[in-house]
Amino acid sequence: AELPTFDYPFIAPGEDISVHSISSGSLTTLVPTLSSTPAAIKDHLVIAGVNINMPVFLGDTEKTLNKGGWLFPNTSRPELGGNTVIFGHRYMYRPPKSNTFWNLDKVKIGDEMVLFWKNKEYKYKVSETKIVEPTDLSVMKSSSSSILTVITCTPLFTTKQRLVVIGSLI
């Protein structure tokens, strides 16, 4: 798979994202749903403290970003441990919409990220935030620890650098 250049629009023409709530035990969460997809999108990333609730998709190309977060195919999966990497756009929708990484720069060390993946919930505690050059692939390297790495472009409306948030499984 190619590394994302973020050249594609976030939502494909004719698609929109709406949000509805679901309950999972004692947790009620908002789940994004593409209007062109009748079933609820179960896989999503929630960073509640900064109003992020993004659908997550596994795909072979960066066109996956048209739908939401892209669980990068050359990295691990939450159920396997290691470094799970999710790319996402930061623009197109602004708060109060929660389906992009618009507010990712507001994430703080210690914040919680919850990845709902294949009917399981994986909680991560943010351990690091940093800005790297687009050519710095070190943030995607494999890990013996179970971590989640979330990546988007920064500053807003540019592809100049990458904002990276890393969390450890708790």
HEC profile for 132-168?
Answer: ECCCCCHHHCCCCCCEEEEEEEECCCCCCEEEEEEEE
pLDDT at 29: 42
Q: How many CB atoms lie within 10 A of CB 96?
A: 6
pLDDT at 52: 94
Distance CA 148, CA 169 (A): 8
pLDDT at 98: 83
Q: Do the bridges between strand 69-71 and strand 52-58 make them parallel or antiparallel, or are there none, so unpaired?
A: parallel
pLDDT at 91: 78
pLDDT at 42: 85
pLDDT at 3: 52
Find all residues with CB under 8 Å of 114, minimum gap 6, and list them.
Answer: 45, 46, 47, 48, 121, 122, 123, 124
Distance CA 100, CA 105 (A): 12
pTM for this model (two decimals): 0.77
Residue 82 near residue 75, CB atoms below 8 Å: yes
pLDDT digit string (tens) for the chain, length 170 residues: 445 544 333 333 334 434 334 334 444 444 444 443 334 568 999 999 999 999 999 988 888 888 889 999 989 999 999 999 999 998 766 777 788 899 999 999 999 999 999 999 999 999 999 999 999 999 999 999 999 999 999 999 899 999 999 999 99
Distance CA 11, CA 63 (A): 10
